[in-house]
Chains A and B, each alone.
Chain A
């Protein structure tokens, strides 16, 4: 048998998202590829088929576990992640895990971190996590407080753009025009009519905390690298991970990664890092796509492509959001030979 790690990696292989771990050097492989991974969220949970959150949380937590040599405490707000990992009488969590309430995870995590400091346990780190509802809505006040005090916690938001656990109601992270149980596709302006989705990464940056990043399950190497980087920094850190929800979005359960990738490649979900309030790194879009392809993959936007007429205005408005992101974050290298 040939030693596959010694095989030189060709450009066209590293240049794709599908490059296998076995083609990479050991150091560049994902935590998941290691037999020694912690399995922080172990198998047997009850997430839906194709759940982006289960995938994102698994990669994030295992990376955090490796970075802290397993000395990690997780605080978890109410939501899908909490429910599907803990069906009575089981748990998927292979680390100390506290379910708090819906809105208080950052505050509880602050308390845990303070207690560890009092007890002189500098080696134990704290992660708090929640969905977009628990983070951008009901837990927003506690989170802002945690940022402002610069408490030593990494907060991870798994953003699937609505309240999925209670039956797909809108949240302040729900994009415009999306259909949810409380923003039905009826009336003159069908779907979600409010705002453009609360941009929590930018709000986190405005607190000047040491580290803010966005990540996506479309790029798991990137996600792991950001979590690892965050765990090496002390103070408040925030990572916002886009995690498609096949149930709530009406996307195929085998299309979770593709739909997440289109969100990134269209510019709707920019991937970036910021330190102390300043943007430090942006993941450039490699192959720009229009938002239409992304929207078409999801039944929550089906009313925009109704048989009796396409809602071009709404599609244009969403495209404008993507264009704005591209310009704002410099997602495309303007300096090309063309």
Chain B
């Protein structure tokens, strides 16, 4: 690995591994799957150098289980996968959401469903990332669109998961994962390390899931002498299972409210020329790279077009989106699926606005020309 602070050519998946290590990740459990295997391979090389542990597990489910164990053991932990593997991890992700276990899961998106198109890009897991596991649950999903941003978002992913005790999913498509770009990485010393809120005070009074002002319960650090009970069952504040309707409702409400309470910290987005825009492009990943070019070309032609790119995909940055799209009559949503992100846009936009999808479901990327054509078509009407 080259020293940071100088220009280097870096692949998206390698940037993912290096961002995680810079953020303090010291445990990785994974399983080979295209197109995310390079993350595991890089981790197998780099983690031992920082006294971290890499384990290749026997399957996707075990990989996810191992990082939850490692996280409960007090280490910053992550796994990485793609399509089918992401499906297999869903029950464990629900466990992480329910028991509030910090963890980062990277999903490099390929064509689906099932084995689908293992080597082709897609953005078909946008809704799965939000709703993949059963039951009411909160999850944070980050969607970087460049090699540098993957590095940055991995650092933010660990920050969010460690401080909020919410599972964080980082999703990007195969193109971004295998893209090699010239980047300058910050020095590891300049990266602030997230610290979990550890339990303090007398152990007799410790409640593992106590409702606090910031909605984040303190966690018992292994070895600190606390008796902690963790379970996949719904619990009361004591951590013990309950079926008491009042306690159950309070627990589910707090876990969901945690995300609402920290919405401003979680939200992240990029906004280009939205103020006066009649047409707003909303998109993520490689589609956002094409959209940025189309947006620039449209402006060159004098068309009032803006780009709103959610970097935090879930919870969707509602406030920012509504503010950015105030003057817009049309919202174009380019995405490499049959129409997923557009559902959220339709939910959020005003009655006067129209949402238009540009969809590709053939394993190819959306090019700027297709987006520009749609912009011009709408502008003429």
Contacts and interface: CB of A to CB of B under 8 A. Distances in A.
Interface stretch (A14-22, A133-141, A253-261, A278-286): A133-141
B45 A166 contact: no
Interface in A5-45: none
B48 interface: yes
A159 to B, nearest CB: 15
A228 interface: no
Contact of A181 (B37, B48, B60): B37
Contacts of B33: 166
Contact of B41 (A99, A137, A181): A181
A166 B58 contact: no
Contacts of A187: 48
A103 B115 contact: no
Interface string A152-191: 0000000000010011011010000000011110110000
B40 interface: yes
A182 B58 contact: no
Contacts of A184: 44-45
A103 B59 contact: yes
Interface centre among B32, B41, B60 (most CB of A within 10 A): B32
Interface centre among A138, A182, A187 (most CB of B within 10 A): A182
Given A101-B115, A133-B32, A182-B54, A138 B59 contact: yes
Contacts of B114: 101
Nearest to A136: B58
B134 to A, nearest CB: 20
A163 B32 contact: yes
B37 A137 contact: no
A183 B37 CA distance: 13
B59 A169 contact: no
Contacts, number: 51
Contact of A138 (B37, B48, B58, B115): B58
Interface in B18-41: 30-34, 37, 40-41
A138 B60 contact: yes
A187 B115 CA distance: 35
Given A78-B115, A102-B84, A186-B48, A169 B58 contact: no
A37 to B, nearest CB: 30
B340 interface: no
B56 interface: yes
Contacts of A172: 58
A163 B59 CA distance: 12
A256 B34 CA distance: 27
Given A101-B115, A163-B32, A166-B34, A137 B58 contact: yes
Contact of B40 (A103, A137, A140, A169): A169
Chain A interface bracket (under 10, 10 to 19, 20 to 34, 35 or more): 20 to 34
Contact residues of B: prevailing secondary structure: mixed
Contact of A182 (B40, B59, B60, B84): B40
A169 B56 contact: yes
Contacts of A138: 31, 58-60
B58 A170 contact: no
B115 A182 contact: no
Interface in A176-220: 181-184, 186-187
B32 A182 contact: yes
Contacts of B54: 182
Interface string B294-324: 0000000000000000000000000000000
A183 B34 contact: no
A186 B46 CA distance: 11
Contacts of B32: 133, 163, 166-167, 169, 182
B212 to A, nearest CB: 40
A30 to B, nearest CB: 34
A103 B63 CA distance: 14
A184 B48 CA distance: 11
Nearest to B37: A166
Interface string B80-93: 00001000000000
Contacts of A181: 37, 41, 44
Contacts of B45: 184, 186
A169 to B, nearest CB: 4
B58 A140 contact: yes
B115 A137 contact: no
Nearest to B59: A138
A182 B56 contact: yes
A172 B44 CA distance: 16
Contacts of B84: 101-102
B58 A167 contact: no
A222 to B, nearest CB: 30
Contacts of B30: 182
Nearest to B56: A182
Contacts of B56: 169-170, 182-183
A272 B238 CA distance: 57
B38 to A, nearest CB: 8
Interface centre among B30, B45, B54 (most CB of A within 10 A): B45
Contacts of A137: 31, 58-59
B41 A182 contact: yes
A181 B42 CA distance: 9
A102 B60 CA distance: 11
A169 B41 contact: yes
A78 B110 CA distance: 16
Contacts of B44: 181-184
Contacts of A167: 32, 34, 37, 41
A140 B59 CA distance: 10
Nearest to A83: B118
Contacts of B60: 138
A63 B44 CA distance: 41
Interface of B: 30-34, 37, 40-41, 44-45, 48, 54, 56, 58-60, 84, 114-115
Given A101-B115, A182-B54, 6 more contacts: A101-B114, A102-B115, A169-B37, A169-B40, A181-B44, A182-B41
Q: Which 9 A-B pairs have the closest CB atoms?
A: A138-B59, A166-B32, A169-B32, A137-B58, A182-B44, A163-B32, A181-B41, A182-B56, A166-B37
17 contacts: A101-B84, A101-B115, A136-B58, A137-B59, A138-B31, A138-B58, A138-B59, A166-B33, A166-B37, A181-B41, A182-B41, A182-B54, A182-B56, A183-B44, A186-B45, A186-B48, A187-B48
